[in-house]
Amino acid sequence: MTVSLPQALASFQPGLPLAVALSGGADSTALLVACAQRWPGRVRAIHINHGLQNAASQFEAHCFALSARWAVPLVVVRVNAQPSQGQSPEDAARIARYAALVQAVESDPVLSGVKDVALAQHADDQVETLLLALSRGAGLPGLASMPATWQRDNLQWHRPLLGVAGTDVRGWLSAQDVAWVEDPTNQDPRYTRNRIRAQILPALDATFTGWRNTLARSASHCASAQEALNELAQMDLLATGVPPRIVALQTLSPSRRVNSLRYWLRHHHNTSPSAAQLDALVSQILACTTRGHQLHLKVGAGYVERSGDALNWHP
C-alpha cells in the first residue's frame, strides 16, 4: 500500500555511504534531502548531465546549490545520450545514465566506499511502467515493472519511494521549503508517459479507489511468478547445459523450452528476444534432426547459431 515519504525512509536500510542519483527534479531532490537528513555526512550525490535540452545547465546548477545546502558531496558526469538508429530517446538516456552511474562509483574518489545507489522513482512511475508494459503486450518480466531493490554491476540498487504517491513526494518537499527544477519535457505530449500522467492517472483517480495499491499488487504478483519461472529455467538449464544442447531442448515441453531459452539469452547474454524471434528460434530447434542442419537467426541484439550439438549466441 502507499505510504508517506517519512514512512518509506524509515524502512529504508541501505549500506552507507549511500549515493543518490540526483536529476534536480522534484522526486530526486526529495530523496536526496530526506537521505541527507537521516544520514548526515554519509550521503553522496551523482548528477548525470545528458546534454539533450537547454535546461540541462539549469538542472546542474540546481544540483550544485542543493548539494551545497545539505553538505552532500556531488559528482557530475556528462554523457552523450543521443539515440542510435531505431532506439528511442528514453532508452538511450536510460542506458547512458546507468552506465555513467556505475562508472562514477567505480572511478571517482568522492564516491569511494559506495556500494549502494538510490533512485527516486515513486508509485506513479511504477503504475506508468505497468501500463506501458500492458500496452506493448509484455510478458511477466515487463508486467513485474520496477523492482524495489536489485543487484547489478557489483552494486546494490534501491528505489525507496516506490510506495509513495507522486503528489505526496512534492507535498513533502514543499513542506521542507526546498525548490526543484521542472523538466520541460514532462509536459510534452509526444512522450507516452506524459500522456499517461496527464490523461489516464486522473481518470483512475476518478474511477477506482486505491488503484495505486491494487496495480502495485498486480505487479508484485507478476514479479513473484517470474521468480518461479526463473528458478524452473535454472533447473532446466542444468539438464540442457549452458550453452543448451539442441536434443535436450527438444525434450522439454513447449512452455519450458521457451522459458529456458529466454532465461539463457537474458541472464547469460544480456539480450532479450522478441516474441517473433523466439518463435522462429524454436521452430529451427525442432527442425534440427540431422547433423547437417544449420541454424543462424537474428535474436535480440545478436545471432543464435548451431555449434556442434548446442546453440551459441554472439553479438
Residue 105, domain CATH: 3.40.50.620
Structural domain count of the chain: 2
For residue 156, count other CB atoms closer than 10 A to its CB. 16
Q: Which domain holds residue 245?
A: 241-314
Q: Is the pLDDT score of 13 beyond 70?
A: yes
**How far is it, in rounded angstroms, from Cα 30 to Cα 165?**
13
Handedness of CA 60, 62, 63, 69 (dihedral sign): positive
Instruction: Quote the distance between the C-alpha of residue 146 and its chain's center.
Output: 6
Whether residues 162 and 69 share a domain: the answer is yes
Q: Is the pLDDT score of 1 beyond 80?
A: no
Which of 193, 212, 231 represents a domain boundary (last residue)? 212
Tell me what pLDDT residue 51 has.
67
Mean pLDDT in residue range 75-79? 92
Instruction: Tell whether 229 is covered by a domain.
Output: no
Whether residues 175 and 126 share a domain: the answer is yes
Mean pLDDT in residue range 214-242? 95
Query: Residue 2: which pLDDT band, with cuts at 50, 70 and 90?
Result: confident
Whether residues 195 and 157 share a domain: the answer is yes
Within the chain, residue ranges assigned H as helices are: 5-10, 26-38, 56-69, 89-107, 123-135, 140-143, 166-175, 192-195, 201-207, 211-240, 246-251, 254-263, 269, 275-287
Whether residues 206 and 246 share a domain: the answer is no
Instruction: Tell whether 263 is covered by a domain.
Output: yes
Q: Is the pLDDT score of 91 beyond 80?
A: no
Whether residues 195 and 247 share a domain: the answer is no
Q: Is the pLDDT score of 9 beyond 90?
A: yes
Q: Is the pLDDT score of 86 beyond 90?
A: no
Tell me what pLDDT residue 183 has.
81
Instruction: Tell whether 221 is covered by a domain.
Output: no
Tell me what pLDDT residue 83 has.
65
**How far is it, in rounded angstroms, from Cα 114 to Cα 103?**
12
Q: Please, what is the average pLDDT of the chain?
A: 92
Q: How far is CA 204 from CA 10, 83, 207, in A?
A: 29, 33, 5
Mean pLDDT in residue range 247-275? 94
Whether residues 121 and 179 share a domain: the answer is yes
